Amino acid sequence: MPDLCLPDLWQYGAILFDLDGVITPTADLHREAWAHMFSEYFREISATGQSVAEYTDQDYYDYLDGRPRTEGIAVLLHSRGIDLPAGGEEDTAAENTVYGLGERKNAEFLRLLDQGIAAYPGSVQLLDSLAAPKEGVTPPRLAIVSSSKNARPVLQAAGLLDRFELIVDGLVAAELELPGKPAPDTYLHAATWLGVPAEKAVVVEDALSGVAAGRNGKFGLVVGVDRGAGEQELRDAGADTVVADLADFVG
């Protein structure tokens, strides 16, 4: 079961939040967009006479959750014995490449996002609590660290863009050539930019790869938010504590 005695987040210098599934329920939109894209693509392959296992919800957790888009696509295709050329960032959704499939998925995600998104109420509660002054205590600095290239539009749509001092997203990672989670580089970059040592910073994640990134970066606290990955799985990946909702930290 989730932990009942939780650490005090105010004792840390920075809190680094994943976005999808932690601050906003965009993980649901990503799951839906991935399922739409891969199901459609696998039907196209099957129509040619090639046998391919259907896409399942477990594929999202095993291959896609928390990974950079093209990396996740390549890994999932490999699991099906499908070898596609990587292509490049200039590829459109019409291209039969890894980048092309990524564009298909992103188009579906943006279509779903256009219907509106609201942050998790418990996550907003925690952000409000961290913004409330405490006498004699310096509040932790807040950042978003996400593999998504849509982090800013998602935060804008949720009305939370101004809550975070720094956003390290998929665009920043690509520009700086930072490897994605479970490598700790994006989180370490955020901590360095904020001037906070990793051991004085918190990583908050719902994805196994993100939790592993926090562990691999030797952060002071790694919080797993169980939105479906599984409590024990999050602990095994490196979470020091697991909660069902970030409101659990507001007492």
| 18 flagged as catalytic | yes
> Which is the catalytic residue, given 20, 91, 185, 206?
20
Name residue 201's beta-bridge partners: 14
Task: Please say if 62 is a catalytic residue.
Answer: no
For residue 34, give Cα distances in angstroms to 162, 191, 249: 29, 30, 31
Per residue in 165-199, pLDDT tens? 999 999 999 999 999 999 999 999 999 999 999 99
Give the pLDDT score at 68: 85
Residue-wise pLDDT tens digits, 191-231 = 999 999 999 999 999 999 999 999 999 999 999 999 988 99
Inform me whether the pLDDT recorded for 149 exceeds 80. yes
Q: Which of 3, 8, 18, 226 is catalytic?
A: 18
Q: Are strands 141-145 and 166-168 parallel, antiparallel or unpaired?
A: parallel
Q: Which pLDDT score is estimated for 27?
A: 78
d(CA 120, CA 154): 13
What tokens does 153 get?
A: 């539009």
Instruction: Select from 251, 200, 215 the least CA-distant residue to 12.
Output: 200
pTM given for the model: 0.80
Domains annotated for the chain, with CATH where assigned, are 9-25+118-249 (3.40.50.1000), 28-113 (1.10.150)
pLDDT reported for residue 3: 63
- More confident call, 148 vs 126: 126
